[in-house]
Each structure stands twice: as C-alpha cells, then as structure tokens.
Amino acid sequence: MFDALKSLGNPFELMKKAREMQERMQQIQEEMAVRQVTADAGGGSVTATVNGKLELIKIRIDKTRIDPANTELLEDVIVSAVSAAQAKAAGMMQEQMQKMAADAGLPPGLLPGGM
C-alpha cells in the first residue's frame, strides 16, 4: 500500500504544482480574453470578430456583396462568420492549453481544451 503512495511523489509538491498550473491557466485565459480573432463568410461578405472568451466584438457587412432584400441569406452568412470566428478562437485557446500542459510535462489531452 505504501509503495503505491510512494509512486505519487511528495503530496505537497503535487499540490504546489497543481496550484501553479491553475494560476497559469487563469493567466492564459486572461491573455486570451484580450486577443481578437476574425473570420469571414460568404466570400468576405460578412466578417465577424470575437475575443478569446468567444464573445462577439464586431460584425462588418460588405454592402457591395450583400443584397439587402435577401435577409435570409444575410442571416445565414452572419451566423457562419460568427461560428467560424468562435471556432478559430477556441482553437487558439486549445493550442495554448496544450502548450502549457506540454511545458508542465503532462501527457497530451489531460487538460481541457476550452474555457
């Protein structure tokens, strides 16, 4: 039984490491929150910008490429642009979390990729 506990290492060291990782994750989330990611849809008809928290910051609609009478198409393109920007931002966060895990010597996939 004690041999199994020895393989865990020093519990105080593990707690310290866990606290450091938690602080680093918080720092990464704060850094990502101020970053902005942009994606477009409809061949550049609509461009959406989100932050690292996946919050929509800005929408730009190119009026020369959109028919104002076709609101259904405009709605679809807006949703597509926002979804694409959010996916890019989520990928950016996952990349940062994986990098942090690798720097800490953790196996891949141990930490969640999102917020």
Report pLDDT digits (tens) over 14-52: 777 778 888 888 888 888 888 999 999 999 999 999 998
Q: What is the pLDDT averaged over residues 91-98?
A: 86
Q: State which H helix or E strand residue 48 sits in.
A: strand 46-51
Structure tokens at 81: 């642009």
Q: What is the phi/psi pair of residue 110, to 5°?
A: -75, -40
Helix (H) or strand (E) holding 87: helix 71-103
Against a cut of 0.85, is the pTM above it?
no
Helix, strand or coil, per DSSP, at residue 14: helix
Token pair of 50 as six digits: 């989100």
Percentage above 90 pLDDT, the chain: 44
Query: Is 2-103 in CATH node 3.30.1310.10?
Result: yes
Domain boundaries, the chain: 2-103
